[in-house]
Amino acid sequence: MTARLLVATRLVVTVQWRAKFPQIYFVIAIFAVIVFRTLIPAELVPLALPAFLFGEPGSLGIMMVAAQRYMERGERSVVALAVTPLTSGEYVSALIFGSAIVPTLATAVIHVGVLGVDLRVVLVIPPLYLIAVVSGGIGLMLSTVFTEFTRFILGTIPPIIVYSLPLLSFFGLAPFWAFKWIPSDSALVIFGMLARGQFDALAYAGSLGLLSLFAALTWWAAIATYMARVRHAIEFA
């Protein structure tokens, strides 16, 4: 299973590379670094950077997984799963885990470009990857339920609104505890402390633990949704 999952994950990354997904991400990352370096005052970076890191792998992560799903659906390539040893669970896992790699690396480039290279780079990668897994799982579930891309776009509005609610707490517009039930809050806590240079090991471990739990639950829900909606990996036969 592990070997098949690794091969499938590598294939997901390869397909995304051919579709120019990583190139688009890194262009956005470079543009973001230029904006932060030239337009954002230094005193605002501890507020602006966490908010941007928070949104980059989240909202775009949802779109990245969904874009690949609709591309595969259009090419009927998912039908080929029926004659391979790859299970539906492995396919979903590879798509989510593989699609989280590029957003994580691209967002880490923004972090390095703005704050420089130090220990914070190592600390920011795990939450970036986990929030990309969460958003990828949401994107896969939505693209499985909504067979038309226009309906999918409308379907992303509620989860993106919910995903963004912790920003209210981050900017002091709501109590700090109000949105702890939302996965993105844990990521925002980590991004905020790293941007301020005020590392708290206990807060980091607790937030990362919660984020890991949310990522595992989203991954499980994505597999369950896919298997319920797509029997024998054949869609719209």
Using the 8-state DSSP alphabet, how is residue 182 labeled? S
- Assign 185 to helix, strand or coil: helix
Q: From residue 218, how far is each of 118, 119, 128, 136, 224 by CA, in Å?
A: 31, 29, 15, 9, 10
Residues with Cβ within 8 Å of 43's Cβ and at least 6 positions away in sequence, in order, are: none
DSSP character string of 147-178: -SHHHHHHHHHHHHHHHHTHHHHHTTSS-TTT
In tens digits, the chain (237 residues) has pLDDT values of: 577 888 888 888 887 788 787 888 888 889 999 999 999 998 888 888 888 887 777 777 777 777 777 776 666 555 555 566 777 788 889 889 988 888 898 889 999 999 888 888 899 999 999 999 998 899 888 888 887 778 888 888 888 888 889 889 888 888 888 888 888 889 989 998 998 888 889 999 999 999 999 999 999 999 998 888 765 444 444
Residues with Cβ within 8 Å of 207's Cβ and at least 6 positions away in sequence, in order, are: 127, 186, 187, 189, 190
Query: What does the pLDDT look like over 91-103, one tens digit per residue?
Result: 889 889 988 888 8
pTM, 2 dp? 0.87
DSSP character string of 57-89: HHHHHHHHHHHHHHHHHHHTGGGGGGGSS--HH
Q: Give the pLDDT score at 83.
A: 60
User: Looking up tokens 């301020």, which residue turns up?
Assistant: 196
Among 23, 122, 7, CA closest to 64? 23
Using the 8-state DSSP alphabet, how is residue 39 labeled? T
Among 86, 31, 25, 87, CA closest to 56? 25
